[in-house]
């Protein structure tokens, strides 16, 4: 069995965890859509006390979201969860297309994360940004090393003629 680099294993685990969290989020959004009326009735009739205040806040926020938005968000997050899972599997099998996919999607996301950080820094936002920046640099270095290695192989092939 081929030994994978530790950095690659860490990124695969990270991507798998992200895919799982995104899938759970997608399911929660779609369940909230399906049960929107029941949640509204529950929120109106149930008296939340003490430690359940967070449930009240979450319910209040969910109920303020339009059903169309819940549907769109649930489906979009689900698709992104699938893509992230595909990235993780492709990386595990060390497929070049997966490295380019991660490089592209992470590269697109970094400017959006910077914009989000400019609106307000939180430990979670900062951690996600730093991890994604590390992932981007890691795969950029791997791709550049592969391009350089291919160039040397072609040069060697031409010189051997």
Q: Which residue has the tokens 């040397």?
A: 152
Both tokens of residue 133? 């920046």
Statement: residue 71 has pLDDT above 70:
yes
Both tokens of residue 12? 């695969």
pLDDT band (50, 70, 90) for residue 160: low
| Whole-number pLDDT of residue 76 | 96
Quick: pLDDT tens for 12-63.
999 999 999 999 999 988 888 888 777 766 666 665 555 566 777 777 777 7
Residues 138 and 145: their CA atoms lie apart, in Å, by 11
Statement: residue 134 has pLDDT above 60:
yes
| Whole-number pLDDT of residue 35 | 81
For the chain, give every domain's residue range. Answer: 1-93, 95-161
**122-126 mean pLDDT:** 94
Output the pTM of the full model: 0.78
| Whole-number pLDDT of residue 159 | 65
Residues 22 and 14: their CA atoms lie apart, in Å, by 12
Mean pLDDT of the chain, nearest integer: 87
């Amino acid at each position: 069995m081929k030994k994978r680099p530790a950095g690659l294993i860490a990124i695969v685990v990270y991507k798998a965890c992200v895919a799982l969290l995104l899938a759970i989020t997608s399911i929660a959004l779609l369940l909230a859509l399906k049960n929107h009326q029941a949640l509204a009735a529950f929120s109106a009739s149930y008296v939340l006390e003490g430690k359940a205040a967070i449930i009240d806040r979450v319910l209040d926020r969910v109920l303020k979201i339009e059903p169309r938005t819940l549907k769109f968000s649930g489906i979009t997050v689900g698709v992104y969860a699938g893509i992230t899972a595909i990235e993780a599997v492709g990386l595990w099998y060390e497929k070049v297309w997966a490295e380019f996919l991660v490089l592209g999607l992470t590269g697109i996301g970094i400017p959006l994360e910077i914009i989000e950080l400019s609106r307000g820094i939180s430990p979670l936002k900062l951690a996600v940004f730093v991890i994604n920046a590390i992932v981007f640099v890691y795969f950029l270095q791997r791709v550049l090393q592969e391009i350089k290695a291919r160039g040397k192989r072609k040069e060697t092939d031409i010189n051997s003629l």
